[in-house]
């Protein structure tokens, strides 16, 4: 029963698109799911990330968080267009091992000395297809596992 509950929760989580603080996305002209201008969600607002100290370690964390493989590019100077409004992160210092961008060292959410001409972009290798296959196997095998006990 407990297993089914967890499984159901997993499905619900996949099915809804609720936003949580620290969630990230890649947007802008020429963007795709795994490449684009980086935006971070915090307190109901999407904001951008400044390119000061932006490098491949930081971009690797973004790609991992998005389930997009590893980074092929960490782009400065709004290569995927300029965002508007909030700039959430500046002076980002990831080691490359963090599981989410907001757990990296940075100057403090909303604290920056930047303009939107410095918005960062990320290009990831992308590997979503493999992950989707894994999820389908999980779906099929899980109920059979419970039956056998």
Q: How far is the CB of 74 from Ca ion (least distance, A)?
A: 8
114-141 b/e (C-beta count within 10 Å ≥ 16 → b): beeebbbbbbbebeeeeeeeeeeeeeee
Which run of H or of E encompasses 135?
helix 128-147
Q: Is 113 in the site for Ca ion (CB under 5 A)?
A: yes
CA distances from residue 89 to 53, 67, 121 in whole angstroms, order as listed? 11, 21, 13
Q: For the beta carbon of residue 91, count every other beta carbon within 10 angstroms.
A: 16
Give the range of 15-23, 31-39, 72-80, 88-96 binding Ca ion by CB under 5 A: 88-96
Find the binding residues for Ca ion in span 4-33 (CB under 5 A).
Answer: none
User: Distance between alpha carbon 92 and the CA centroid of its chain, in Å?
Assistant: 15
Q: How many residues bind Ca ion (CB under 5 A)?
A: 9
The Cα–Cα gap between 137 and 122 comes to 30
- Identity of the residue, 35 or 57, whose beta carbon is nearer to Ca ion in the bound complex: 57
Q: Is 90 in the site for Ca ion (CB under 5 A)?
A: yes
| Residue from the set 55, 82, 86, 128 that interacts with Ca ion by CB under 5 A | 55
| Residue from the set 58, 60, 98, 118 that interacts with Ca ion by CB under 5 A | 58
Q: How far is the CB of 106 from Ca ion (least distance, A)?
A: 9
Q: Is 82 in the site for Ca ion (CB under 5 A)?
A: no
The Cα–Cα gap between 110 and 39 comes to 13
- Identity of the residue, 55 or 82, whose beta carbon is nearer to Ca ion in the bound complex: 55
| Residue from the set 27, 53, 81, 128 that interacts with Ca ion by CB under 5 A | 53
Residues at the interface with Ca ion (CB under 5 A): 52-53, 55, 58, 90-93, 113
């Amino acid at each position: 029963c407990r297993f089914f509950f967890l499984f159901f929760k997993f499905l619900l989580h996949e099915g809804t698109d609720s936003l949580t603080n620290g969630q990230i996305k890649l947007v802008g002209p020429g963007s795709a799911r795994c490449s684009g201008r980086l935006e971070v969600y915090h307190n109901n607002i999407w904001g951008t990330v400044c390119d000061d100290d932006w490098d491949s370690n930081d971009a690797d964390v973004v790609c991992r968080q998005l389930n997009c493989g590893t980074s092929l590019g960490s782009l400065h100077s709004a290569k995927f267009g300029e965002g508007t409004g909030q700039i959430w992160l500046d002076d980002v210092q990831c080691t490359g091992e963090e599981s989410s961008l907001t757990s990296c060292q940075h100057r403090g959410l909303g604290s920056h000395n930047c303009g939107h001409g410095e918005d960062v972009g990320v290009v990831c290798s992308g590997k979503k297809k493999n992950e989707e296959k894994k999820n389908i196997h999980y779906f099929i095998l899980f109920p059979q596992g419970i039956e056998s006990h």
